[in-house]
Amino acid sequence: MTTAADFTETELVVCAAAKMLARSTTVFAGIGLPTLAVDLAYRTLNPDIQLVYESGVAGAHPESMAEGVADSVVVSGADAVVNMHALFGYVLQGGNVDVGFLGAAQIDRFGSLNTTVIGDWESPKVRLPGSGGAADIMANAGEVFVILRRHDPAAMPPELDFVTSASPVRAAEHPDFIQPRGFGVSTVITPLGILQRKDRLGELELTHVHPGVTSEQVQEQTGWDLAISDDLSVTQEPTAEEVRLLRDEIDTVRLYLR
C-alpha cells in the first residue's frame, strides 16, 4: 500500500484507530472521530464489523456520515432499531459488545474518564456534557478504546478533576460495590502516540509513538510517570487510499477532520 503523500494529525489518529479494529466484531461507538475510525475500518480491514449507536440502532449501515446518534442516516438500512432499555439491557449489559469506542476530556493512568467538569465541582472552568452512555459502556463492553484530540498534562493529569466513567482499577478500590464486567480502557490513541493496558488492573503503557515523535516528548506531555513498552514501535503512517476515503467519501464536509 502506498503511504499518503500528506496527511493531517487527525487523519493519522483516525487511521491508527481503524487499524486497531481489524479483529473487532461489534463496536459501540460515540459520534465524532470514533465513528470515522469504525467507518474506515469497515471499508478497509473489517467488512464484518457491526456498529451500535446508543440511540438504539444495532448493525448500522449509514449511507453517509452520521452527525449525531439520532441522525436519520444511522437508522436507514440498520439490522435492528430497539429502545434504549433494550439496547443497554440486552445488547450492552448482555455482553454483546466487543469494543466501546469513546472520547473524553481527561483520562488517568488507569483509564478512568472525565466527561463532566474541568476544575472544581462547585465553580468549574468548563462544564462538559457528562456521561451519556459512557459509564455503562465502560462497565460492560469487552474493552474500551479512547481517542483524545489533545495529549498534554491537562488532558492526561495525575488525578482527574471528576471521575465520570470509572476503570476497573478505580472500582476495585471499593470491593463492596458492584464490579464492572469489562476490561475497561485497553487502548488510547492520542496526537502523540498509542497507549495500551495489558492487565485489567494495570496502568497504561506507551506502545507506539507517531512518526517524528519521541518517547521523551510523550512523557513531557503526560501528567504521570509514563510506563514505556520494551517493544515501543512507530505508528504506521496512513496509506493514500485511507486518506482518500476519509476526505472524499467519509467526512466530505470536514465536520470532524479539522
Active site residues: 54
Strands of 89-181, DSSP E:
99-103, 106-107, 113-114, 117-118, 126-127, 143-147
Collapsing DSSP to helix, strand or coil, 125 comes out as: coil
Q: Which residues share a beta bridge with 107?
A: 113
* Residues 165 and 113 sit within 8 Å (Cβ to Cβ): yes
Residue ranges of the alpha helices (H) in the chain? 9-20, 33-44, 84-86, 134-140, 168-172, 215-220, 240-244
Rg of the Cα atoms in the chain:
18
Rounded distance between C-alpha atoms, residue 128 and residue 116, angstroms: 5
Rounded distance between C-alpha atoms, residue 203 and residue 213, angstroms: 22
* Residue type present at position 19: K
* Residues 34 and 145 sit within 8 Å (Cβ to Cβ): yes
* Residue type present at position 212: G
* Residue type present at position 157: P
* Residues 46 and 21 sit within 8 Å (Cβ to Cβ): yes
Rounded distance between C-alpha atoms, residue 200 and residue 77, angstroms: 36
